[in-house]
Amino acid sequence: MVNIGVLISGNGTNLQAIIDGIDKGIINGRIKVVISNRKDAYGLTRASKANIESIYLDPKECDAITYDRKILHELKKRDVDLVVLAGYLRILSKKFIEEYKNRIINIHPSLIPSFCGKGYYGDRVHSAVLEYGVKYTGATVHFVDEGTDTGPIILQEVVKIDDHDTVDTLKEKVLEVEHKLLVQAIELFCQNKLSIKGRLVRIRSEENEKSID
């Protein structure tokens, strides 16, 4: 059984999707802790309602390196194997990434490498998408490396943009896909079906099991 730690900063609908995925038996894992850098994150309430330990760590109390060290302590104390960034708005330190190399998953509301990187989060992603006039956007689940939204891509799915779409309607459409992809990616991780070679993530299946070392 994979122990999962979830980091949040806001509403926590992606966290809720993981909770529901576990309850439905889709994800063969358990959430050991939810940690937020924002006291008012509704995701903390979602965790409590699901009887999951939730912690608010105030980032103003220390510098970024110490803050990450505190989070790492809470994760290691609970033998967390997989860290999921579910709407978590802080950049992780190099040390954190190394501690959990290829065991940190992030969900981003666009088709990386478009509309991602520094400053691209939440509604700003969707307004940039609408402004540019692309015909498709989507969601991406990826492993986290030391860059911002630059790690090896696990799953992506497109969302068609209609002429009447607004930031709010687009956000809703993309969020639905985010929830689906995040649950799928976590389940694949829990089944040890994700293999990484450089930037390429491949999904092991019974047939090609032999072909991937």
Active-site residue identified among 108, 126, 142, 179: 108
The amino acid at residue 18 is: I
Q: Which two tokens stand for residue 174?
A: 């993309």
Nearer to ligand GRF, 72 or 144 (CB): 144
Nearer to ligand GRF, 10 or 29 (CB): 10
Nearer to ligand GRF, 75 or 112 (CB): 112
The amino acid at residue 136 is: Y
Q: Is 108 a catalytic residue?
A: yes
Nearer to ligand GRF, 66 or 136 (CB): 136
Residue of 115, 112, 175, 114 lying closest to 145 (CA atoms): 112
Cis peptide before 59 (omega within 30 of 0): no
Q: How far is the CB of 24 from ligand GRF (least distance, A)?
A: 18
Q: Is the distance from CB of 97 to CB of 104 less than 8 angstroms?
A: yes
Helix (H, G, I), strand (E, B) or coil at 131: helix
Residue of 129, 120, 128, 125 lying closest to 162 (CA atoms): 129
Residue of 96, 145, 93 lying closest to 117 (CA atoms): 145
Q: How far is the CB of 44 from ligand GRF (least distance, A)?
A: 11
Q: How far is the CB of 212 from ligand GRF (least distance, A)?
A: 29
Residue of 114, 129, 112 lying closest to 166 (CA atoms): 129
Q: How far is the CB of 210 from ligand GRF (least distance, A)?
A: 36
Residue number, nearest CB to ligand GRF = 87
Residue with tokens 């995040």: 182
- CA neighbours within 13 Å on the CB side: how many for 88? 29
Nearer to ligand GRF, 6 or 188 (CB): 6
Q: Point out which residues bind ligand GRF (CB under 6 A).
A: 10-15, 43, 86-87, 107-109, 122, 175, 178
Q: How far is the CB of 101 from ligand GRF (least distance, A)?
A: 21
Phi, psi (deg, nearest 5) at residue 174:
-70, -40
Residues with catalytic roles: 108
